[in-house]
């Protein structure tokens, strides 16, 4: 059932709330309203959590998006367990607001930014991207976010910055899966600076028009659509610019299986399985296995970033 906001609140209240909603202001407001519990306030939270954004057709696939149930029910987020249904069950302990992000390393505008301050200058867009997991399954997800490159520029990297590193929250209370030693915590990922500046790389704050569910990496996660899903780090608390290539979690855990680049590549098999095909989640017939496209279908946009590189060695 769809309830129009105007049916719930008197018109003037609704209008001021809409102005308030402009941009990303709603993220902070949701936390404030969440302190109270009346039915009206709960409804306010739902309204505020509907983001304002424009659809970006140029950077969106026309393939059918996966259902919200698939996108929020089949996840990799080891901080909440290693089963695909663990994050949906366990991520309720994450508190995505209030939230802040530390910016440091080789840049001028270092500091601790509240989520609101970090997001304020950026207009949100919807981008429908394929997500190709290294485990040979894929989904199509309507993200809401903004170009990572716009934020990188704003933080003024120095001439020494060659990479940008991202860190996930480390907190055993909020992320009970971190009690297990399945990975080294906190989860770390990184991009070369030219990859980070590419217009396809985004920071996402929502999907299907609403703020990110916890299991998808609330409140802020990276999405790099031409790379295997593990590069798209969730629940980011730190952004650091570096001169040297940072160590990244999966490459540390199994260096012969997961590299720094992790570009989707059907020509380079994982040592334990083929990467030639993928299973689209939600269509469970084996006939639905489809060929994997190089760079996950974004070769025209990103192949030039790697010209002259041996992608079998730099996997």
Ligand X SMILES: Nc1nc2c(c(=O)[nH]1)N[C@H]1C(S)=C(S)[C@@H](COP(=O)(O)O)O[C@H]1N2
Interacting residues with ligand X (CB under 6 A): 75-79, 131, 133, 168, 187, 216-217, 229-230, 232-235
Pairing of strands 163-168, 236-242: antiparallel
Name which of 47 and 88 has its Cβ closer to Mo ion.
88
Distance CA 119, CA 122 (A): 6
Distance CA 76, CA 86 (A): 9
* CB 134, min distance to Mo ion, A: 5
62: tokens are 């026309």
Give yes or no for residue 133 binding Mo ion (CB under 5 A). yes
* CB 149, min distance to ligand X, A: 20
Name which of 5 and 87 has its Cβ closer to ligand X.
87
Q: What are phi and psi of 139, to 5 degrees?
A: -145, 165
Using CB atoms, what's the residue nearest to ligand X?
Answer: 229
User: What residue 137 binds from Mo ion, ligand X, none (CB within 5 to 8 A, per partner kind)?
Assistant: none
User: What residue 265 binds from Mo ion, ligand X, none (CB within 5 to 8 A, per partner kind)?
Assistant: none
* CB 219, min distance to ligand X, A: 13
Burial category of 147 from C-beta neighbours within 10 Å (exposed 0-12, middle 13-18, buried 19 and up): buried
Which is it for the CA torsion 151, 197, 251, 296, positive or negative? positive
With tokens 């306030």, the residue in question is 41
Give yes or no for residue 87 binding Mo ion (CB under 5 A). no
* CB 240, min distance to ligand X, A: 16
Distance CA 218, CA 211 (A): 8
188: tokens are 């770390």
User: What residue 79 binds from ligand X, Mo ion, none (CB within 5 to 8 A, per partner kind)?
Assistant: ligand X
Binding-site string for Mo ion from residue 209 to residue 248, where x marks contact by CB under 5 A and - marks none: --------------------xx------------------
User: What residue 263 binds from ligand X, Mo ion, none (CB within 5 to 8 A, per partner kind)?
Assistant: none
Name which of 44 and 76 has its Cβ closer to Mo ion.
76
How many Å is the Cα radius of gyration of the chain?
20
Strand, coil or helix: 278: strand
Name which of 124 and 141 has its Cβ closer to ligand X.
141
Buried b (16+ CB within 10 A) or exposed e, 27-40: bbbbbebbeeeeee
Stretch that binds Mo ion, among 134-142, 144-152, 285-293, 304-312 (CB under 5 A): 134-142
Distance CA 205, CA 225 (A): 15
Contact set for Mo ion, span 49-78 (CB under 5 A):
76
Stretch that binds Mo ion, among 130-138, 182-190, 250-258, 300-308 (CB under 5 A): 130-138
Contacting positions for Mo ion (CB under 5 A): 76, 133-134, 229-230
């Amino acid at each position: 059932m769809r309830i129009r906001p105007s049916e719930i609140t008197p018109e003037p209240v609704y209008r001021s709330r809409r102005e308030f909603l402009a941009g990303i202001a709603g993220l902070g407001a949701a936390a404030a309203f969440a302190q109270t519990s009346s039915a009206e306030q709960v409804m306010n939270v739902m309204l505020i959590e509907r983001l304002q954004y424009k659809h970006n057709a140029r950077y969106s696939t026309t393939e059918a998006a996966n259902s919200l149930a698939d996108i929020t029910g089949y996840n990799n987020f080891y901080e909440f367990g290693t089963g695909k249904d663990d994050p949906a069950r366990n991520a309720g302990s994450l508190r995505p607001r209030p939230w802040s992000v530390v910016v440091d390393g080789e840049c001028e505008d270092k500091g601790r930014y509240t989520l609101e301050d970090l997001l304020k200058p950026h207009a949100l867009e919807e981008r429908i991207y394929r997500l190709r997991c290294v485990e040979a399954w894929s989904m199509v997800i309507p993200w809401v976010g903004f170009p990572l490159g716009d934020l990188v520029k704003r933080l003024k990297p120095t001439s020494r910055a060659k990479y940008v590193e991202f860190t996930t929250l480390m907190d055993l209370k909020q992320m009970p899966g971190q009690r297990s030693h399945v990975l080294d915590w906190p989860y770390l990922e990184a991009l070369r600076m030219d990859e980070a500046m590419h217009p396809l790389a985004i920071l996402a704050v929502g999907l299907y028009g609403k703020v990110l569910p916890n299991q998808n990496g609330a409140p802020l996660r990276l999405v790099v659509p031409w790379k295997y899903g593990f590069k798209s780090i969730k629940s980011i608390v730190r952004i650091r610019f570096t001169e040297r290539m940072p160590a990244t979690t999966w490459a540390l855990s199994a260096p012969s299986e997961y590299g720094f680049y992790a570009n989707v590549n059907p020509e380079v098999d994982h040592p334990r399985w083929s990467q030639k095909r993928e299973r689209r989640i939600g269509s469970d017939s084996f006939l639905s296995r489809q060929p994997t496209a190089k760079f996950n279908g974004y070769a025209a946009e990103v192949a030039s970033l790697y010209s002259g590189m041996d992608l079998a060695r730099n996997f």
